Structure 1
Amino acid sequence: MFLTSISPSTLVALVLPLLPRALSSPLMKRGGSFLALHTDFPDPSFVKTPEGKWFALGTEGNGKRVQVAESDGFHSWTLLDIEGLPKVAAWEEDAQHFAPDVIRRDDGKYIMYYSANSKEVGPNQDDHHCVGTAISDDPKGPYIPNDKPLACDLDKGGAIDPAGFRDADGTLYVTYKVNGNSIGHGGDCNNGVDPLVPTPLVLQKLAKDGVTPVGDPVQILDRNTADGDGPLVEAPSLVLSSGTYYLFYSTHCFNEDTYDTRYATASSINGPYTKNNEQLLKTGDSPRLISPGGATVHADDGNRILFHGWCDASMKQRCMYGANLSLDGTKASIV
C-alpha cells in the first residue's frame, strides 16, 4: 500500500543510494572458492610484488616446464605465454617439473623451489625427484637453476612439493615431502599395501640466500589413518598468523575424489603440529570442486589461498581455484 503511493521516479531516487551498501553487505556476498584459471595449472603457488601485482607459478603443462599466470586483483587470472624455467640444471632431466613455489628474498630477487627428476636414480624406483632452486630478478622469470639440488632423499623415495617460508625473525625455511610412496608396495597411491612407507613432511632451515641448507631437516608431519589421512600426506604450505604456525597439506590420492586439503597447527615452527582433522577443502564444495589440493596460502597475510581441482568430471586437467581464508586462533576456514 505504501509503495503504490510513491511515483516510480521517487522510488528509484530512494532505492539507488542504498544499492552500493546492499551489494557490499556480507549477507549479499557469495562465499566459498572460485575458478581462477580454466586451464591445466596444477600445484599453484603465488607471490605479490611490492607494486601490488600477483604472479602464480604452476606444474608443467600447456607446453611449459613452469607455467606462469598474473593477476591485478587476485580473483581474475591470465595465463602468460612464458616459460618460467627456460633451461635446466645439469643434475635434472628435462621432464617432470612439478610444484614450483616462489618467495621474494631480502635483496629483491625471487627464489623458486621446484621438484624435478634427478639423473641419479634411487633404489627400486622409477620416480626419482629432487628439490631444486632457481633465481630470478622478476617473479615471472626467467629463473636460472642452481647447479646442485637442495634435497633429494632418493633412498627414501625422493623429495617433492617444496614451499618456501619466512619466519617472523626473517629466517628462511623450505618445507617439502619425502616421496616415500614412490617406493611403496602398490595399492592406492602406490602405498596402500603393507608395509606402508613413510611420506613425511619435513622442514629445512636455510641461509639468507634461500638456497643453502642449515643443519638437518626436521620431520613435522606424516600420515596417520586414525586422523582420516589416506596413504600419504603431501603439498605442504606453511604460514604464521598471530603466533600460530599453520601447516596446510593434502592427503589421499590426487586422482581420486577423496583427495582433500587439511591443516595442522603449532606454537613453534618445529612443532609439534596438531592436526585439525577437518577437511578445509573437499570434493563437492562450491563451485563443484573435485579433488581440491596442492594448495598454497599467501605467506604475508594468510588470507588468500590458491589450489587445484579437476576442471570437470573427466578428471583430465586440473584447473586453478582460489578463495579467501580466515585464520583465527587455531581455526582456518574458507570465507
Structure 2
Amino acid sequence: MVLLTACGKAYTNPVHAGDTPDPQALRVGDTWYLVHTNEGGRNVPVLTSPDLVTWTPAGDALPHLPDWADGGKTWAPEIAELAPGRFALYVTVADRASGRQCIGAALATGPAGPYDGLQRLVCQADQGGSIDASPFQDQDGRRYLLWKNDGNAVGQDTWLWSQPLAADGLTLTGAPARLLRQSEPWEGHVVEAPFLWRHGARLLLFYAANAYDTAAYAEGYAQCDSPLGPCHKPPGNPILTSHGRASGPGHASMVEFKGKTWLLYHAWPTGAEGSTTPGRQLWLDEVTWNGDTPVVHGPTDTEQKVP
C-alpha cells in the first residue's frame, strides 16, 4: 500500500499480502511483471505494478500444462526477454514419468503470457529432481540457466548448477557446472533459489538456504569468477534473516529501478511459518553496496520511501 506522508510517498511491507512464494519480476515498458509459485488454482500467477509497491493480479502465465506434467507443483517461475516480442518462461513442474520435479521452458509474445510449448530442459531424477530455474544474461550477451538439484528430497546434497543457454532460450549447450552446495551451519541441509547479479566487475551468486517453512530460512551470497564458477562464500552471511514481522525471508530476486537496487522476496508472518493462509507474502527492500558487498536494508516493517 502506498501512503502519503509529510516526506512524500511511503510504503510498508508486505507490499502484497496474498500468498506470493518465490517471486521474480521483470520490467517491460513502464510496467513490472511479477511471477510466482502456483497459488489459487493458477499455475504461474502474474502480478503487475508501476512502482514495485502496488501490485494487481493479472491472470495465469501458464494456463495449460503439457501432457507430461502434473498440476499442483508448479514452482519458482522466472521470465526473461530474449528479444522484442519474444519472452521465455522457466518453471519447475511435476514430471509424471519420473515422479520428480523437472525444469521446463516455454515461449510467449508478451511477459504475462500465455506461454505455450513447455518442454523439458533439466530433470536430474537420480539426484532428486531439478527446481528453481533462473536465467542470466551476462554483459557479453551470453545466456545461462541456473538451478538446484532437489537432493534434500532424497537425502542427497543440494548443489546449485549453471549451464550455458543457446540463443533460442530453449536449449542448453556445453556442460553443466556445479557452483556450490550446503556447507555452512546457517544453511542447514539445503541451498536453493540461485540467481546471478553483476555489480561492476564482480559477479555475485545469491541463494536461499535452510528449511523453507521455518524462521531459519535466510538469504546469502557467494562471489563467482564466471557464470560457470568457481564460486566461494565470503564472510558475513547470511545477509537477510528473520526480523520483526518477517519470518524465514528468502527466495529473492533483484532489480534495478530509478538508479537504486531492490530485493523482492517472500516471508512468512512471524508465528505463521508453513501456513497456507496468508502464506508467504511479498516484501521489498533496498540494497546498497559497500564496495562489492551487498547490504540489504531489511526486512523492514516500518514506513519506507517508495522507489
Matches of 1:169 and 1:302, distance apart in 2: 23
Aligned to 2:14: 35
Matches of 1:35 and 1:86, distance apart in 2: 27
SS in 2 for 1:63: coil
Residues 163 and 236, structure 1, Cα contact 8 Å, conserved in 2:
yes
Aligned counterpart for 1:97 among listed residues 71, 74, 82:
74
Letter in 2 for 1:55: Y
Matches of 2:289 and 2:254, distance apart in 1: 11
1:179 aligns to 2:163 (yes or no): no
Question: Please, which moves more after superposition, 263-272 or 251-260?
Answer: 263-272
Aligned counterpart for 2:161 among listed residues 197, 202, 209:
202
TM-score (structure 1 length as normaliser): 0.80
**RMSD between aligned alpha carbons?**
2.2
Aligned to 2:115: 143
SS in 1 for 2:83: coil
Matches of 1:95 and 1:258, distance apart in 2: 26
Matches of 2:187 and 2:72, distance apart in 1: 30
Deviations 1:137-158 (A, max 9, x none): 1111111133x30000001110
More strand by percentage:
2
Residues 44 and 56, structure 1, Cα contact 8 Å, conserved in 2:
yes
TM-score (structure 2 length as normaliser): 0.87
Matches of 1:259 and 1:276, distance apart in 2: 19
Q: Which runs of 4 or more aligned residues in structure 1 lie more than 6 Å from their structure 2 counterparts after TM superposition?
A: 299-302
Matches of 1:71 and 1:269, distance apart in 2: 30
Q: Please state how far the C-alpha of 1:210 moved relative to its aligned partner.
A: 1.0
Matched ranges for 1:1-335 at <5 A: 23=7, 34-49=13-28, 51-80=29-58, 82-121=59-98, 128-146=100-118, 148-184=119-155, 197-225=156-184, 228-277=186-235, 278-284=237-243, 288-298=245-255, 303-315=261-273, 316=275, 317-335=279-297
SS in 1 for 2:194: strand
Q: Please state how far the C-alpha of 1:107 moved relative to its aligned partner.
A: 4.0
Matches of 1:68 and 1:328, distance apart in 2: 33
Q: Please state how far the C-alpha of 1:329 moved relative to its aligned partner.
A: 3.2
Q: Please state how far the C-alpha of 1:313 moved relative to its aligned partner.
A: 2.1
Matches of 2:224 and 2:71, distance apart in 1: 38
Aligned to 1:6: none
Q: Please state how far the C-alpha of 1:204 moved relative to its aligned partner.
A: 1.4
Provide closer, same or farther for how the CA distance between residues 94 and 183 of structure 1 changes in structure 2, counting only shifts above 3 A: same
Matches of 1:63 and 1:160, distance apart in 2: 20
Residues 39 and 311, structure 1, Cα contact 8 Å, conserved in 2:
no
Deviations 1:154-189 (A, max 9, x none): 0111000011110111111110000001111xxxxx
Letter in 2 for 1:103: A
SS in 2 for 1:263: strand
Aligned to 2:302: none
Matches of 2:101 and 2:255, distance apart in 1: 25
Residues 266 and 280, structure 2, Cα contact 8 Å, conserved in 1:
yes
Q: Please state how far the C-alpha of 1:271 moved relative to its aligned partner.
A: 2.1
Structure ID, larger Rg: 1
Letter in 1 for 2:49: S
Residues 144 and 227, structure 2, Cα contact 8 Å, conserved in 1:
no
Residues 242 and 329, structure 1, Cα contact 8 Å, conserved in 2:
no
Deviations 1:40-83 (A, max 9, x none): 1100011000x121010010002211111010011221223x12
Letter in 2 for 1:180: G
Letter in 2 for 1:84: A
Question: Please, which moves more after superposition, 38-47 or 273-282?
Answer: 273-282
Letter in 2 for 1:233: V
Letter in 2 for 1:311: P
Matches of 2:178 and 2:292, distance apart in 1: 21
Letter in 1 for 2:23: P
Q: Please state how far the C-alpha of 1:312 moved relative to its aligned partner.
A: 4.7
Aligned residues: 287
